[in-house]
Structure 1
Amino acid sequence: MIKVVIVDDEPKLRQGLQTLIPWGDLGFTVIATAGNGKEALKVIMDKTPQVVIADIRMPVMDGLQLIQQLRSAGQHLHVIILSGYADFEYAKQAIKYGVAGYLLKPVNISEMSASLKLVREQIEKESLSKEGHQGEGMNRDLYLHSLLVPQEKTEDPAKLSSKTKQADLLWGSYEVVVIYPRVSDADRSEELIRLSVGLKQGIEARSMGIVTVISPYVILLLNAPLRGRQRRDNLYGEIRSIAGDTRFAAATGGAVTEQKYIRSSYVKAQEAVKQAFFSRKNSLLEPDIPCLPSPPLPRLPDDNYEERIEDLIFRLYYCLDAGNKTMVSQLLNEAAAFFLKQGQDEKSVKQSFFFLSNAIIHKLAAVSRIELKETETVSRFLNGIYQHDHLQDLLEEIHSFLSEFAEDFEPKGKEQEIKKMLDFINRHYAEDLRLSSIAGLLNYSTPYLGQLFRNMTGDYFNTYLDRVRIQKAKELLGQGMKVYEVAEHVGYTNANYFHSKFKKYEGRSPSDYKNP
């Protein structure tokens, strides 16, 4: 059966044509319909029909623009034009493109049937001509598609070689490059055609290979290997020049020497382009190239996902509080390495960083580091996480945004660093503070920082922390708070332990202090 797509902005006419025309008897089958030229482009790229029946007047993209796009892209489909009486002058322009038929509305069934019979005869003649011709007659686009898309059965090597020769594809080398435009689904078909037209003018004009489209990719089949970084960079630059402002990813599947392996190159190129988010920026990607290098991960028991996330949130938040922007960057890289280790794809990695960033922002908001007036800025930042094409750009953006809320950190010798540490303790005395955790934030070893702290303050770290907590406890007890409540508020989970500490430093129990 010959595949047909009907394009008209009137639903009743589309439905009428589908039901009133005896398609099967005429040797045709309607595989899809569309309401305008832009919708039709996507359908045509996906379904590869042989015949298009299109209204000349439609919103968004009319029939004439649709034909222009198809012809520019090298799509030599058989098109039957439908128009009203008032559109005749306009329709004459479409006839210049070699349309297969021109019918007035309302469509007459017998006239449409007659036009379809003529189109079928023409398609049959073309098919016979291709079978008997030994050169330019073979449709290289269709043949290339058959090599790239899996066939139901393996073709005889001798027959395959004969077809390859007919299609003028009997080369010494083949290399597939796929180009994926990063555009919305609604704009994809139009962008694929624009890119393919631009690349045909360069690649095919210089006899470097052929260009075709299999949605969602523009595909180049090159007749010489892309050996060396310079050749790959030159091709990438050519693609970027044609793409203009359109974001895209491009990858090669590597060179092969036999046509039966062309599909293998195509599959590898697809796999590489799907990993573009994790790969180098501004370059033609290659198969089997590892992702961006990642730092080793600190070990947690069983690498529990929830524990790891909580640990990352904890350390990132306190690094911001301590003003250590360098450590923030290291922790974001550690988070990326962890997400990759979990086997997360691009979408999942972005979701994970959204959650991580949102949790830290909520912690910052809880201590008034982010004001209400900044809510719109925060929302824009969080939504922007999903717009990044490369992991490295995403990490830099998150680091830049979060660092705006870090305390100023300008080390001026050891005294300044200890002062920073004391300020940190006075803000977070109620939490589970450990010298080892703070040492990590300040990039010191735990023993060295402990000795430095004692030299500067005269106290061991734990002693100083106890003194701060007891001082805060005295303030709360003076406000009438119950002893066990005070213990929890200042960081002691055990009321008896708090009681012994209080008595050690104050010489009396908390209850005695509360009731003199």
Structure 2
Amino acid sequence: MIKVVIVDDEPKLRNGLQTLIPWESLGFTVMAAATNGKEALSVIEEVNPDVVIVDIRMPIMDGLQMIQHLTAAGRHLHFIILSGYADFEYAKQAIKYGVAGYLVKPVDIREMSASLQRVREQIEKERHQAELSQTGGVNREAHLHSLLLSHENIEDPDKRINKTKEAGLLWSGYEVVVVSPRISDEEQFTALNQLSAGLKPIIEGRNKGVVTILPPYTVILLHEPIRGKQRREDLYNEIRNASGGLRFVAASGGGVSVPEEICSSYLKAREALKQAFFSEKDRLLGPNSPALLPLPESLGMTADNAERLEELIFKLYYSLDIGNQTMILPLLNEAASLFLMQGQGEKTVKESFFFLSNAVVHKLTAGTRMESKETEALSRFLNGIFQHENIHDLVENINRFLLAFAEDTEHGGKEQEFKKMIDFMNRHYADNLRLDTLAGLLNYSTAYLGQLFKNKTGEYFNTYLDKVRIQKAKEFLSQGMKVYEVAERVGYANVNYFHGKFKKYEGRSPSDYKNL
């Protein structure tokens, strides 16, 4: 671990840096903190850090004076200086002392992490060079890192080959596998080391390759390309066994034949990892891993995507509102395919599903007030969208939630309304009842009411009305009424038309039924 000392007279900033920066996952450890330059000199002498993060403006001894003192004393340290905007010209004086980074307050965590990453790389390079100068040989791990990261190496090819041979890495073929733990930044350093320790006996102990750590990955360099589906499955299972229960994703970068191409395999493996959200779970991903959701042919790139999304939202609401549960999952898969077709990444896809789900729920609850438990459930669900690691799981979860939410929020309102409509039909069957008339009375679209009616009764509106009328006609015929009188009584102006309908549903004519 690289040792750090923080020097700043502001307690809030000093404590914030110690708690907010993911030091361990970046390969650092904070050894101590000081409130001014004079106090820092004693602390630095005691803990002997590699890096000092120091504020320019401090009482007693400022940051620039401290840097001057340490440099004059021959101390080789890496300084990252902090200052306000007004101190920029003053801070520039520190550049001649070889500061490693300069950040303006308030400190941005991402900028600080990036500066620390650069400092760590520089320190590792210096340590490697020092080791080489002492041993006169090639450090295997450092050379492996150079092979993985050197995209434009200008070193003499013969010299590079000799180094690779000395490091014991000159093989007939290679393939890089990167393993990324699904864990918080704070726990990343420990997780990477745990993976590395578990994999070394399996990979290095069985002479299959070498294992190293390049945060945020544990990296495997195999001494031959992975061939065949079974070998990929076996390797994935070996990684899982070595993980000790850690959640992770892993990807390979394809086989290469020479050391100079190892960096290409590493890059491709990292790119493949980015597709983990869209790929099949529990598999070793690769450059050609298929997408989990194929794009349907019906979706065209020239379509107005905003209009298509609004159409999907309406279809989802419509299907949930009428109780057509079987349509929800296909519609959600269609939405996922639309987002993929637009080239959306993992974060944007989740944001799109957040918007879609929220819009559907608000349509379902329009004009009503959600209870507190429903509001809490919705909030948990929407926030949980961003926690999913796989698009298949995300779609399935949205499907389950929407179905449950639609059922829980029905409140019996539509059910009561539907019962009233059926009762109305049973009392006014002889009138000229039309679906569009009832839809207007109930403030529904004709298509919506027709589908709702079919889902609730199992019959189309006109079929249901015919059956009500025929049932009433049977009662009147049994009372001795004439056929033409019954036809008119139940709403059929044409007796022949009534005759045909009666025979269709009863299998006999009205006269035959009357004479039974």
Aligning the two structures, in what range does the TM-score lie when normalised by the shorter sequence? 0.5 to 0.7
Correspondent of 1:456 among 464, 469, 474: 464
* Partner residue, 1:227: 227
Correspondent of 1:434 among 447, 451, 475: 447
Does the 8 Å CA contact 1:321/1:407 hold for their aligned counterparts? Answer: no
* Partner residue, 2:33: 10
* Partner residue, 1:165: 165
**Aligned pairs (5 A) from 1:436-515:** 438=451, 452-458=460-466
Q: Which structure would you say has the larger Rg? A: 2
Paired residue type of 1:430: N
* Partner residue, 1:203: 203
- Residue 183 and residue 319 in structure 1: after superposition, are their counterparts in 2 closer, same or farther (change >3 A)? same
Whole-angstrom CA distance in 2 between matches of 1:327 and 1:289 = 29
The Cα shift of 1:187 comes to 2.4
* Partner residue, 1:20: 69
Q: Secondary structure at the match of 1:198?
A: helix
Does the 8 Å CA contact 2:176/2:262 hold for their aligned counterparts? Answer: yes
Whole-angstrom CA distance in 1 between matches of 2:241 and 2:115 = 27
Q: Secondary structure at the match of 2:251?
A: strand
The Cα shift of 1:452 comes to 5.0
Does the 8 Å CA contact 1:325/1:406 hold for their aligned counterparts? Answer: no
Whole-angstrom CA distance in 1 between matches of 2:33 and 2:400 = 52
- Residue 143 and residue 452 in structure 1: after superposition, are their counterparts in 2 closer, same or farther (change >3 A)? same
Q: Secondary structure at the match of 2:405?
A: coil
* Partner residue, 2:322: 322
Q: CA RMSD in A?
A: 4.0
Whole-angstrom CA distance in 2 between matches of 1:427 and 1:435 = 8
The Cα shift of 1:227 comes to 1.5
- Residue 161 and residue 394 in structure 1: after superposition, are their counterparts in 2 closer, same or farther (change >3 A)? same
Alignment length (residue pairs): 362
The Cα shift of 1:218 comes to 1.1
Does the 8 Å CA contact 1:4/1:28 hold for their aligned counterparts? Answer: no
**1:168-202 Cα deviation digits (max 9, x unpaired):** 10111111001112222232223222222222233
Greater shift, 152-161 or 19-28, is seen at 19-28
Whole-angstrom CA distance in 1 between matches of 2:373 and 2:439 = 25
Whole-angstrom CA distance in 2 between matches of 1:314 and 1:269 = 40
Whole-angstrom CA distance in 2 between matches of 1:297 and 1:422 = 42
- Residue 384 and residue 167 in structure 1: after superposition, are their counterparts in 2 closer, same or farther (change >3 A)? same
Does the 8 Å CA contact 2:299/2:338 hold for their aligned counterparts? Answer: no
* Partner residue, 2:109: none
Whole-angstrom CA distance in 1 between matches of 2:72 and 2:248 = 40
Whole-angstrom CA distance in 2 between matches of 1:28 and 1:385 = 45
* Partner residue, 1:127: 132
The Cα shift of 1:285 comes to 0.4
**TM-score, length of structure 2 as denominator length:** 0.61
Paired residue type of 2:191: E
The Cα shift of 1:351 comes to 0.3
Whole-angstrom CA distance in 2 between matches of 1:4 and 1:352 = 43
* Partner residue, 2:188: 188
1:375 corresponds to 2:375: yes
Whole-angstrom CA distance in 1 between matches of 2:395 and 2:371 = 24
* Partner residue, 2:25: none
Greater shift, 223-232 or 168-177, is seen at 223-232
Does the 8 Å CA contact 1:208/1:223 hold for their aligned counterparts? Answer: yes
1:258 corresponds to 2:254: no
The Cα shift of 1:400 comes to 0.7
Does the 8 Å CA contact 1:4/1:50 hold for their aligned counterparts? Answer: no
Paired residue type of 2:224: A
Q: Secondary structure at the match of 2:362?
A: helix
Whole-angstrom CA distance in 1 between matches of 2:448 and 2:229 = 50
The Cα shift of 1:388 comes to 0.6
- Residue 325 and residue 386 in structure 1: after superposition, are their counterparts in 2 closer, same or farther (change >3 A)? same
Whole-angstrom CA distance in 1 between matches of 2:74 and 2:175 = 43
Paired residue type of 1:456: Y
Paired residue type of 1:126: E
1:362 corresponds to 2:357: no
In structure 2, runs of 5+ residues without a counterpart are 6-29, 41-51, 55-62, 80-99, 103-111, 409-417, 424-434, 468-516
Whole-angstrom CA distance in 2 between matches of 1:124 and 1:296 = 55
Does the 8 Å CA contact 1:42/1:189 hold for their aligned counterparts? Answer: no
Whole-angstrom CA distance in 2 between matches of 1:233 and 1:43 = 39
Whole-angstrom CA distance in 1 between matches of 2:232 and 2:204 = 17
Does the 8 Å CA contact 2:364/2:406 hold for their aligned counterparts? Answer: no
Whole-angstrom CA distance in 1 between matches of 2:290 and 2:72 = 52
**TM-score, length of structure 1 as denominator length:** 0.61
**1:299-324 Cα deviation digits (max 9, x unpaired):** 68952232112111111011111222
* Partner residue, 2:396: 396
Greater shift, 381-390 or 158-167, is seen at 158-167
Whole-angstrom CA distance in 2 between matches of 1:151 and 1:180 = 21
Whole-angstrom CA distance in 2 between matches of 1:47 and 1:193 = 21
Does the 8 Å CA contact 2:180/2:217 hold for their aligned counterparts? Answer: yes
**1:366-404 Cα deviation digits (max 9, x unpaired):** 254953322211111111100111000000100011111
The share of aligned pairs that are identical, in percent, is 45
Does the 8 Å CA contact 1:178/1:220 hold for their aligned counterparts? Answer: yes
- Residue 196 and residue 427 in structure 1: after superposition, are their counterparts in 2 closer, same or farther (change >3 A)? farther
Whole-angstrom CA distance in 2 between matches of 1:261 and 1:45 = 25
- Residue 360 and residue 159 in structure 1: after superposition, are their counterparts in 2 closer, same or farther (change >3 A)? same
